[in-house]
Amino acid sequence: MFRKRFRTKKFRKKGPLPTRKVFLYSFILFIISSIMTLWYVDKSIEPVIMSVAEYEIKRIATETIHESVDENIAKVDMNKIITNNKGGDDSSSSYSFNPVIYSELRANITKDIQKKLGIKQGNPFKTGSAKINDEQYKSVVYYIPFGVVTGNNLLSNYGPEIPVKMSVIGNVESDLRTKLTNAGINNVYYELIVDFDVNIQIVIPSFTKETKVSQEVTVGSLLIEGDVPSYFSNGNGSVAPAIMKENKE
């Protein structure tokens, strides 16, 4: 009988990985971990960035509306907007607003609001005076420091700037209404109010949101004084005094 002799195989001991492979594997792991970290951080702070951006955009739009209204009202005589329709000697006067002048004023304010939203490009705290082109008229880009996200006053002006793009969707809508407030005996406070609605699209990197800015602005006001009555009762059920009429001879 023949015996088979089994020889044990000799395994070579593996040495350390080559430097090139170590560098390659380390680089791949670094890239993957960096991408995952950036993705996690971006998703974590995205709602905070959008909240800050929405607040800033609404604040800027509100300031723009009031600024445009004040500048255009200063150019118009308010007595021409609210007119006094006087009757005869014994009849009381009535008041109304001039629709022609009001329509012109509203159109100027609306156009000025849209232009100012386009002019304030790059710096929301300064109003530019350069010629407005179509691209500026459609969208505006603001930059918010990354430190604002932390909510710390000391860090609010530090860090890289995050671009926030604001685009006005459609036209600036405005609606006229009047408000009458009792201001004493036979006195009425007459107010001419315009409600502005601006639809704005806010765009930050990787996220978009639409919001509406609504603002109520008083365009004109007038105190209407009526005739003082001979007797005034507050309606508490007391007996009214007798009023003696003068005898005319």
Instruction: Kindly report the pTM of this predicted structure.
Output: 0.56
Q: What is the pLDDT of residues 45-87, one digit of tens each?
A: 777 777 877 887 788 888 888 888 888 888 887 777 777 766 6
Around 61, how many Cα atoms within 13 Å sit in the side-chain half-sphere? 27
Count, residues in the chain? 249
Task: Identify the band that residue 9 occupies on the pLDDT scale cut at 50, 70 and 90.
Answer: low
Which value, to the nearest 10 degrees, does the dihedral of the CA atoms of residues 168, 123, 217, 223 take? Answer: -150
* Interatomic CA distance for residues 106 and 96, integer angstroms: 17
Secondary structure (DSSP) of 107-129: HHHHHHHHHHHHH--S-TTS---
Q: What is the mean pLDDT of residues 38-43?
A: 74
Q: Which residue has the tokens 């232009």?
A: 115
Model pLDDT for residues 210-246, shown as the tens digit of each residue: 888 888 888 777 777 766 665 555 555 555 555 555 5
